[in-house]
Chain A
Amino acid sequence: GENVEQHPSTLSVQEGDSAVIKCTYSDSASNYFPWYKQELGKGPQLIIDIRSNVGEKKDQRIAVTLNKTAKHFSLHITETQPEDSAVYFCAASKGGSYIPTFGRGTSLIVHP
Chain B
Amino acid sequence: DSGVTQTPKHLITATGQRVTLRCSPRSGDLSVYWYQQSLDQGLQFLIQYYNGEERAKGNILERFSAQQFPDLHSELNLSSLELGDSALYFCASSAGQPTNEKLFFGSGTQLSVL
A interface, CB within 8 angstroms of B: 32, 34, 36, 41-46, 49, 89, 93, 95-105
Q: In the complex, what residues of B have CB within 8 A of residue A105's CB?
A: 42-43
A86 to chain B, nearest CB (A): 13
Q: Is B8 an interface residue (CB 8 A)?
A: no
Is the Cβ of B43 less than 8 Å from the Cβ of A98? no
User: Which chain A residue lies CB-closest to B56?
Assistant: A99
Is the Cβ of B108 less than 8 Å from the Cβ of A98? no
Query: Residue-by-residue, is B33-56 near A (CB-CB < 8 Å gives 1, otherwise 0)?
Result: 100000000110100100000011
Q: Is B71 an interface residue (CB 8 A)?
A: no
Q: Is B27 an interface residue (CB 8 A)?
A: no
Is the Cβ of B98 less than 8 Å from the Cβ of A96? yes
- Residue among B55, B96, B105 having the largest count of chain A Cβ atoms under 10 Å: B105
User: Which chain A residue lies CB-closest to B6?
Assistant: A43
Count: A-B pairs, CB below 8 Å: 54
Q: In the complex, what residues of B have CB within 8 A of residue A93's CB?
A: 101
Is the Cβ of A45 less than 8 Å from the Cβ of B105? yes
Q: In the complex, what residues of A have CB within 8 A of residue B101's CB?
A: 32, 34, 93, 98, 100
Query: Residue-by-residue, is B87-113 near A (CB-CB < 8 Å gives 1, otherwise 0)?
Result: 000101010101001111111100000
A89 to chain B, nearest CB (A): 6
Q: In the complex, what residues of A have CB within 8 A of residue B105's CB?
A: 36, 43-45
Given the complex of chains A and B, what is the CA–CA distance between A105 and B98 in angstroms?
25
Q: Is B15 an interface residue (CB 8 A)?
A: no
Q: Is B4 an interface residue (CB 8 A)?
A: yes
Q: In the complex, what residues of B have CB within 8 A of residue A34's CB?
A: 101-103
Q: In the complex, what residues of B have CB within 8 A of residue A42's CB?
A: 107-108
Q: In residues 41-75 of chain B, which contact A (Cβ within 8 Å)?
A: 42-43, 45, 48, 55-56, 58
Q: In the complex, what residues of B have CB within 8 A of residue A104's CB?
A: 42
User: Which chain A residue lies CB-closest to B91?
Assistant: A43
